[in-house]
Amino acid sequence: MRKALFLDRDGVINKEVNYLYKIQNFEFIAGIFETCKFFQQRNYLLIVVTNQSGIARNFYSEEDFIILNDWMLHEFEKQAVKISKVYYSPFHPKYGIGKYQQDSWCRKPNPGMLIQARDEFNINFCESILVGDKESDIEAGLNAGVKLNILVRSGHKVNEGSTKANAIIDSIVDLPNCVHSFGFINYF
């Protein structure tokens, strides 16, 4: 079985912008490439799991999302970082329009995207890590059985008193030290 680093997109990989779909509004969070390389060198698959309710709300199309996603993946490739796959949920149970109005099994906090990744890549959740900027990210990891769920302060406001996260970090660059403190990795 393999291990994975699951990353939310908005607020973890890029700076939070509500309903981001334009390349010119996409700004990578400082340290994301270096952090991904660190885990990649330790044989973690890098997998993105992202809710995209802007599609459900008809703010942008799935095609718009795919164009931005392909650009993002190319930027990672230019930095010698391989994202194994991006899973996304285009649904919203309340504000979705048409076929997108549903409480989908793949919409976080539901575990569907993580389960799909587990099944597709033979991932061991007991050796895997999830990083998100919202409690729904953490809940998805817990609902799937991911062993280590980390909340990062670089996106949404964090309610530290009520989080179910194993740890809270200020920045994605803090992730290696945080994960090391849980005994998941070493630096050698």
Determine which one of 8, 133, 137, 174 is catalytic.
8
70 is catalytic: no
Report the alpha-carbon distance of residue 15 to residue 55 in Å, rounded: 19
103 is catalytic: no
Report the alpha-carbon distance of residue 98 to residue 169 in Å, rounded: 38
Which amino acid is it at 182?
A: F
H or E segment to which residue 3 belongs: strand 3-7
44-51, strands of its sheet edge to edge: 83-89, 44-51, 3-7, 129-132, 148-152, 167-169
H or E segment to which residue 33 belongs: helix 32-40
Determine which one of 10, 133, 137, 174 is catalytic.
10
Residue 100 DSSP symbol: G
Nearest to residue 13, comparing CAs of 145, 5, 157?
5
Report the alpha-carbon distance of residue 105 to residue 102 in Å, rounded: 9
Q: Which residues are catalytic?
A: 8, 10
